[in-house]
Amino acid sequence: MKKVLLGLLLCLFVVSAVAIAEDILIFEANFDKTDSRNVYFDPVVGDWEVENGGLVGYDTSDVNTNAVQELDQLGEYTFIYEYKVHYDFSGGQWSPAAGLHFMCSDGYATNRGESYLVFQDYGRVQLYRASGGGLTHVTQVDGYPAPDGGFSVIRVEYNVKTGEIDVYLNGNLVLQWVDTNPISDGYYISVRTNMTAVTYDYIKVWVRK
């Protein structure tokens, strides 16, 4: 009888742990009629349009385009960002290149205030940290080029409490970094390109409490 009770308690503990670690979707942009009225990427820099189920950036000359979305990212949780981007056309050096700023304090600033930037270019996946108006390159992994004419699915898991950032490319963990002074909250996310025409098929954000 004791073994049965112990087994039941263990099962309840496992179920509770899974429930506690559940990922809760807090933002979803599919760029079609399924989007809520809260989905609006403000085209700050560059030529951006929502067309045929995607957020399309046409600018192949600007090195830092920006379309920004308001989104509160608050609390000592793990925030998960995932987007699918198609690299439509390369316009110059370092391209194709595109990415996402997250945990942004100011989505309208050049480097989005305090923020992180995950970025894939012609040869690698990179991670940057923005602070004080500047953008600092913190780490990269070579051998994962942005596919010209193809697409990538990028997923970032950011643990606010520990500062750990894990970056996945097409389902594979390719990059890890720990910020010893992690950004504690953000109010925007922002897409960014460098001399590249792109289509973001979707952008989703979850929180793991």
Q: What is the pLDDT of residues 30-72, one digit of tens each?
A: 999 999 999 999 999 999 999 999 999 999 999 999 999 999 9
43 belongs to a structural domain: yes
7 belongs to a structural domain: no
What is the DSSP code string of 57-97?
E--SS-SS-EEEEEEEE-SSSEEEEEEEEEEEEE-STT-S-
Spell out the residues 6+ positions from residue 80 whose beta carbon is closer than 8 angstroms to its own. 23, 155, 156, 157, 158, 205, 206, 207, 208
Which tokens sit at 98? Answer: 């595109």
57 belongs to a structural domain: yes
Q: How confident is the model at residue 161 (pLDDT cuts 50, 70, 90)?
A: very high
Q: How confident is the model at residue 12 (pLDDT cuts 50, 70, 90)?
A: very low
pLDDT in tens, 84-99: 999 999 998 889 999 9
Instruction: Give residue 39's domain range.
Output: 25-208
Burial class (CB in 10 A: 0-12, 13-18, 19+), 94: middle
**At 197, which CATH number?**
2.60.120.560
